[in-house]
Structure 1
């Protein structure tokens, strides 16, 4: 069913999702045909599919089921839930806070699958539990969400987060070798619940993504099951990352010449590269200040004056004028509307 030169996965993962979709009334034989598979052949021992096709199947089943949990729970989870949780996450300062908000938003959207993050010694541990395990007998839903949490976390900080260990609540399966590409790291079977372990050193790293980048990320999710996002190839993100990691907060903006030197290129070349990506250094720094302000407005303990200082404005008045251009209202009004929505 596949070429030997491209990453593949056991059809076990596909069959688990198709079984769930069938509970939502989806014609899984027709779905398999749309994917270019023979439904019966998928059931054969040793059958495999392209890793990229598995991700395409997830997107297709989300649409067909109208359920981001693909029939593997008692109640459906509406389309857009994952994107909404990501949108909440990007406005936080650090990965730890981003994941906490992602998990909190997810809990509001569904109670059939729960996420929790704990710090245990030098490890951050994200646990995934389903309310009715009998509806996810193969564990594919829990594994899919572990994968997505890991990919989201890596994307948020623009670094591939090494996995220390993944726990699985089932015995070692025949397809266990596939976990080497999906979850590179140590694997423990027969655990109390599904869990992802990674070093706490990543929890304090800055969240770097913008709403514009989120739109592209969400459109592509979930990516190839064997692919982990890391350093973004765009110069826009490389510049943002450099500023936040080297300068930190309070935010101070280097000159374009200083940025070019840090990236080991000439100023005209960097200016051209940014122009090819549809932006300029001035626009990029404006969006960066905007994102910092939005993330800080979510903290009720910070005054507008304190946020102005953190974002590199001379005073609260300068911030307010800029914010009115961005959002059409004052920071105080924006905060009030956001609090009312929550």
Structure 2
């Protein structure tokens, strides 16, 4: 289908709103800029688009003038990340990126300490907050660790293969979202918060330029939240099959098995071993596509229903309400308020 299908749990938006409340920001302004409302925040099952979440984070950054969202021991004024990025874009390789990135933040802000350590054939990029109690929802640690992986990956033009991510806090309630954020096992209650990867990739050269960086910064943080989700091999292949389909109504586990040169029974077994089910994957694709079409396009609900393989709009309406707790029309009306 050629569009980004990833959606984000409302849980993260609620944490951002909590941060805004602690910073005494105008909550009505935050919600309006993100195309959200209070009723949507109260729906624990709702998922929103990367655009909505990015708009919300950008609004908190601007109103608080703090890229650490009020969760650091010291404010990090808006624009600090861009200054750092304009320095590291001239690095020769990934090792230099992580060195310069660490040195920059260690010098200009006491809220955190960053370090790159190489032990044998593994690299550890670690982060320690000076006052972790201020990051009471663990949002800052999750966001920054995501950033320290995705921005350097963008700089070298390839995903840095992670062996593990570790966090110095307990497993959060939204644990399942971490499989969408990090392509590796996540461990909690560890001594240090860090990324772990093969040290060999530190020699990878940068492929981005000051010109491409300018475009990247204008879109930030949108691109950091729209990377494809990482899944086990057969789950990913089935998702690829579903996303390429021009007719989801006719896309079945039989068609997926045929494309993968497997029997239906074998594919079901492999998906089950990865903790997946075909229908659940198909519903996830339809849910994320529906969220995208309703919030980002002017297509009629009837056409969206047809494109996603529903026999009639009423069936789509029932499914969308089951997925999100919202009627499609109400969801679209709120999204349009931001435009």
Could you say which TM-score interval applies, normalised by the shorter chain?
0.5 to 0.7
The residue correspondences of 1:45-56 to structure 2 (distance < 5 A) are: 45-56=44-55
Q: 1:224 to 1:105 in 2, by over 3 A?
A: closer
Q: Answer whether contact 1:90 1:208 (CA < 8 A) is retained.
A: no
Which TM-score applies when normalising by structure 2?
A: 0.62
**Does residue 225 of structure 1 match 2:222?**
no
State the match for 1:38 in structure 2.
37
Q: 1:74 to 1:172 in 2, by over 3 A?
A: closer
The residue correspondences of 1:4-43 to structure 2 (distance < 5 A) are: 6-43=5-42
Q: CA deviation at 1:210?
A: 1.8
Structure 2: which 5+ runs fail to align?
Answer: 230-339
Q: CA deviation at 1:83?
A: 0.9
**Inter-partner Cα distance in structure 2 for 1:201 and 1:31:** 43
Q: CA deviation at 1:46?
A: 2.9
State the match for 1:166 in structure 2.
165
Q: 1:122 to 1:216 in 2, by over 3 A?
A: same
**Inter-partner Cα distance in structure 2 for 1:145 and 1:46:** 25
State the match for 1:212 in structure 2.
211
Q: Answer whether contact 2:33 2:56 (CA < 8 A) is retained.
A: no
Q: CA deviation at 1:137?
A: 0.8
State the match for 2:140 in structure 1.
141
Q: 1:61 to 1:150 in 2, by over 3 A?
A: same
4+ residue runs of structure 1 moved beyond 4 angstroms?
none
Which TM-score applies when normalising by structure 1?
A: 0.61
**Does residue 126 of structure 1 match 2:106?**
no
Q: CA RMSD in A?
A: 2.1
**Inter-partner Cα distance in structure 2 for 1:228 and 1:115:** 27
Q: Answer whether contact 2:33 2:59 (CA < 8 A) is retained.
A: no
**Inter-partner Cα distance in structure 1 for 2:191 and 2:226:** 25
Structure 1: which 5+ runs fail to align?
Answer: 230-342
**Does residue 88 of structure 1 match 2:87?**
yes
SS in 2 for 1:209: coil
Q: CA deviation at 1:92?
A: 1.8
State the match for 2:196 in structure 1.
197
Bigger relative CO (Cα 8 Å, ≥ 6 apart):
2
**Inter-partner Cα distance in structure 1 for 2:214 and 2:106:** 22
**Inter-partner Cα distance in structure 1 for 2:132 and 2:93:** 33
Q: Answer whether contact 2:150 2:224 (CA < 8 A) is retained.
A: no
**Inter-partner Cα distance in structure 2 for 1:194 and 1:228:** 23
**Does residue 100 of structure 1 match 2:99?**
yes
SS in 1 for 2:17: helix
Q: Answer whether contact 1:29 1:39 (CA < 8 A) is retained.
A: no
**Inter-partner Cα distance in structure 2 for 1:92 and 1:51:** 29
Q: Answer whether contact 1:160 1:228 (CA < 8 A) is retained.
A: no
Q: CA deviation at 1:206?
A: 1.1
**Does residue 180 of structure 1 match 2:179?**
yes
State the match for 2:233 in structure 1.
none
SS in 1 for 2:118: strand
Q: Answer whether contact 1:68 1:79 (CA < 8 A) is retained.
A: yes
